[in-house]
Structure 1
């Protein structure tokens, strides 16, 4: 009886150790920003979804698929994928009537989050007034969205890192300090955090509870930084080959409990690079 009990205990311990090992090496869920697949849209959405399934993609960021909305929704369901977030323009969040349409759209698509990609400003001149307006609109819209069971994310592009108050801080810090975490959080595009010369890992650690998802794209080594939120799309390179430090970013993000990661490739090589992006992500040991 004692030997049997010891054997049972040993098997349980072994199973526990195997489960720990599996958890530490298990790949994270792979998400795709649907614009990355734009070259395949001409083949029809069923072909796009078949390819995503083949690649092991389980989560999506996007809208109606630039085609038949009902077909898109059906394909999401039929292929066992989850549409996590859809976009909404700043002007749509700013206006109460259009905000109601944003809410209706999100509920129809079944997404728990809405993301805004840009705070409007004059050319490359992002000012304190622009940042202040962004804070006001996001807090107000985020509250209404939250009351409807939808979270709001802001997707910064790097122009927010301009200094203000005589160089005592950045407009990004102002936005972070003045948006209400109950109603407004962020999606980190790691490329656009690197582009103004920031360290994505340091930013993840500085605001550990504010980042709710990541856009994953790498930047060609030697690309000059700027504060304009713009860059040559051809500087999007295969994940792990650029200067962003994707592996360290992923390990930090996973350690912080971030769960949603969307591959985005804006280059002309996007479709060819997607399998390489995924292979690199699968190679990371957590």
Structure 2
């Protein structure tokens, strides 16, 4: 009888643990753009603020007046690291040696481009040029620097094309050996796409993710732009984050970064971190 009671207690305990299994067990990273205004004033103090939030993984897309070596030193002193280094399209194409060296100095594994310069609607011809450029950039980064290249969607790439979108065209025509992707979930939902469907469709082509939420009621378009106040704390907007995170784990996303473009980061970022920490499956 005693043994039976022990077994029952163990089974009940296991059920509780399973019921409380975390949907996001790791600690998120942070996109430097979230703290862009603070970084412009004082890089060291801003890193201290981010570290105090429990975050050590950074994605930088700006050196904020520092050399890569100076920024790396500040990170090392705080037990922080840079896993992804974002640069502009033109720099990735025309200044690849500088980009590669800076990324290596920072300790990054990934080099990321977040925008394709264009005017007017994004077109098939633009997508074709993008594919050729990305294949070239990605090959050089891998062969010469041992770095992985990622493209971060921005919404405009989801213009219709054949039975899909121009984003589909870019994914399907870039070489998976050299070109991966960072899924920005706000800039997926804003133009009317489903991040879960994309994660299920393309799997491990997605290596990185921007965790964001879009204000409820906002109707998007293909512009790639929306007022920054439409960035809201995770879990308070219209994106089904539990479903996204489940699909992302299945796809094998390697790094998740909080990005909040609003002016309310002092309240929203801690709220987003708490949401992720307390989110159960």
Tell me the TM-score normalised to structure 2 length: 0.88
1:242: which partner in 2?
A: 237
1:44: which partner in 2?
A: 42
CA distance 1:48–1:189, change in 2 (3 Å): same
Secondary structure of 1:209's aligned partner: helix
Q: 1:141 aligns with which of 137, 141, 152?
A: 137
Q: 1:67 aligns with which of 50, 65, 68?
A: 65
Tell me the TM-score normalised to structure 1 length: 0.86
Quote how far apart the aligned CAs of 1:244 are: 1.3
Quote the Cα distance in structure 2 between the aligned partners of 1:228 and 1:181.
27
1:32: which partner in 2?
A: 30
Quote the Cα distance in structure 2 between the aligned partners of 1:52 and 1:21.
31
1:86: which partner in 2?
A: 85
Task: Map Cα deviations across residues 215-260 of structure 1 (whole Å, 9 max, x no partner).
Answer: 0110001101201111111100110010111222112212332121
Quote the Cα distance in structure 1 between the aligned partners of 2:52 and 2:21.
24
Quote the Cα distance in structure 2 between the aligned partners of 1:102 and 1:203.
29
Secondary structure of 1:208's aligned partner: helix
Quote the Cα distance in structure 2 between the aligned partners of 1:32 and 1:101.
24
Structure 1 unaligned regions, length at least 5: 1-9
Structure 2 unaligned regions, length at least 5: 1-6
CA contact (8 A) 2:158 2:165 kept: yes
Q: How does 1:1-286 map to 2 (within 5 A)?
A: 24-25=21-22, 27-41=25-39, 44-63=42-61, 65-69=63-67, 70-95=69-94, 98-122=95-119, 124-147=120-143, 148-164=145-161, 167-286=162-281
CA contact (8 A) 1:218 1:237 kept: yes
Quote the Cα distance in structure 2 between the aligned partners of 1:23 and 1:71.
42
Say how many residue pairs are matched. Answer: 267
Quote how far apart the aligned CAs of 1:78 are: 1.6
